[in-house]
Structure 1
Amino acid sequence: MHADSVQRSHILPAVLYIGIVVILFVLAMLYCGYQQVFRVKQIIVHGHYELEDRYVTRISGIKRGAGMFELDLATARDLLIAEPYIFNAYISRQFPDAVHIYVIERQPVALLELREMYALDAFATILPLPSSYAADKLPVISGIDPNLAVEPGKATVHPDIRHAIHFMNYMQQFGPAICEYSKYITWDNSRGWVIRKDRSHPPIYLGNEDLEERVDILNAFMTKMKDEQTDIRGFKYISLRYNGQVIVRD
């Protein structure tokens, strides 16, 4: 009995102490709420380029004056990644009054000409036309069924578009000589993929198979023409469709 009373005498102060701490914490939170200490005053957006920070803030649903503890960060993130140009997002609180929004944007690498013009990222995701990127410097993919149904923010499964993006990405390793020549990338039912720099340069027929191998051959051919100081604008066309051969017509 004596041991039990001693044990209770030790427990009661601890319980009383915890109770006082909880009450003080609740009172402190109520006071802070009354004084608007933990209210959102700053919303800072990081990583944006195409999208304006005000737009990112608006679509997140986070508003200045909201309680810091009342923010639904998971829902805000879902709202952000529903925007076609946002690949991923992360949101954090910085007490007492700041919210940081970090976004990773999709970057357009090409334009897609259908009945309307769209942009594409490196994963064949359909994007609205950009306003912060120099669209006139992006290659244009055309010749695809103009009635193709696409959804901005979603990666297209159309094999021809994915094919074009795939060999475009492969071309990046060869530097500007090849990349600049691929300003216009056109699907032709009889010749396969055709690339062209502009009207003053001949079209290059790549066909529709073994495109990586044909790009390798094209790079070697272009390097040789440069070393020999040959102006390829004198050719009518260049074809790589047959057994790894380069066929030119003057």
Structure 2
Amino acid sequence: MKKNIYYNNYAFFITLTIILTIFIKLSFWWNQLNKKMLLEKILLSETYIIDKEKYYDLLKEFIGTNMHTVNIDNMTKIIEEHPYIKTTRISKWYPSTVKIEIIERDPIALLNITPMVLIDSDGYVMPDIESKKNLNLPIMTNFNSDISLYPFGKKVLSINVEKSALWLNKIKNGFPSLYENISEMKMTSDNNINMILSDYPTHIYLGQKNIWPKIKILKKFENELFPKKLSNFSYLDMRYKNQIIAMNRKI
């Protein structure tokens, strides 16, 4: 009986020793692995407005950080503070990589104030900085020039500018040929909206109210004009309900 107890205790001791040895070795291996799991690469998706290296520079301080301590929320906060960033999706790829998918804001117009700023399709403000592509945008003029109304990376505080950006975005999506031809969107002293087309140019007087319904009428009018174009007229006056007063261009 005593012999059996001795062998049982011995077997238990050997088993415990083996388990502890394995545990110590695994702990040592995990500790060494953690030391090797450092962030070596930050891979960004392709960008269309700003060179992605500009965004990389915001995050390069994370290089060399242990992957377990890399804080995704902090990285997201830092990069999304850039006024050209709309949203990002960041993920860790062990053992040493972070991948970032970037969605940039879509500039819809250039606001003619000092300094000039860009307005995106959601009404957010972006500084007019060097971009990767040539941005051929309508210019918004005669709007409130108080620079405090246009905080970079935030929504514009001017109601008229926000509404105009919304109209331009709807025109871009619903009437792209007109959007591409808009040279200027102008606010008059009595808050009427005028558009000036690049072709020739043609002036379009939209008034103060029902801007989008008037744009839809304008689109229908141009379709009925074919093969003529809006640029065949020196101006189109749409300030009056359900009618267009058109002045033919003098040849």
The structural deviation recorded for 1:17 is: 7.6
Corresponding residue of 2:179: 179
Structure 2 SS opposite 1:183: strand
Cα distance in structure 2, aligned partners of 1:20 and 1:90? 42
Map Cα deviations across residues 13-59 of structure 1 (whole Å, 9 max, x no partner): 998787556533321132235xx521222221114333333332221
Structure 1 SS opposite 2:155: coil
Corresponding residue of 2:120: 121
The structural deviation recorded for 1:208 is: 1.4
1:1-250 counterparts in 2 under 5 A? 22-33=23-34, 36-130=35-129, 131-135=131-135, 137-149=136-148, 150-190=150-190, 192-198=192-198, 200-227=200-227, 229=228, 232-233=230-231, 235-250=233-248
- Kept in 2: contact 1:61–1:76 (CA 8 A): no
Map Cα deviations across residues 109-167 of structure 1 (whole Å, 9 max, x no partner): 211111221111110100112512322x1111111022241111001131111111121
How many pairs were matched up?
238
Cα distance in structure 2, aligned partners of 1:49 and 1:128? 16
- Kept in 2: contact 1:60–1:77 (CA 8 A): no
- Kept in 2: contact 1:238–1:249 (CA 8 A): yes
> What letter corresponds to residue 211 of structure 2 in structure 1?
L
In structure 1, the gaps of 5 or more residues are: 1-8
Cα distance in structure 2, aligned partners of 1:13 and 1:139? 81
Structure 2 SS opposite 1:133: coil
Corresponding residue of 1:5: none
Runs of 4+ in 1 over 4 A off after TM superposition: 11-22, 231-234
- Kept in 1: contact 2:122–2:165 (CA 8 A): yes
Cα distance in structure 1, aligned partners of 2:182 and 2:85? 27
> What letter corresponds to residue 184 of structure 1 in structure 2?
E
Cα distance in structure 1, aligned partners of 2:206 and 2:44? 44
The structural deviation recorded for 1:80 is: 0.9
> What letter corresponds to residue 60 of structure 1 in structure 2?
L
- Kept in 2: contact 1:39–1:66 (CA 8 A): yes
> What letter corresponds to residue 117 of structure 1 in structure 2?
M
Cα distance in structure 1, aligned partners of 2:165 and 2:65? 43
Structure 1 SS opposite 2:246: strand
Cα distance in structure 2, aligned partners of 1:139 and 1:14? 78
> What letter corresponds to residue 81 of structure 1 in structure 2?
E
Cα distance in structure 1, aligned partners of 2:22 and 2:41? 31
Change (3 A) 1:156 1:27: same
Tell me the TM-score normalised to structure 2 length: 0.82
Change (3 A) 1:49 1:18: farther
Cα distance in structure 2, aligned partners of 1:161 and 1:174? 20
Cα distance in structure 1, aligned partners of 2:32 and 2:141? 63
The structural deviation recorded for 1:173 is: 3.9
Map Cα deviations across residues 49-77 of structure 1 (whole Å, 9 max, x no partner): 33333332221254332221221221111
> What letter corresponds to residue 24 of structure 1 in structure 2?
K
Cα distance in structure 2, aligned partners of 1:57 and 1:234? 49
Tell me the TM-score normalised to structure 1 length: 0.83
Aligned-residue RMSD, C-alpha: 2.8
Cα distance in structure 2, aligned partners of 1:77 and 1:169? 27
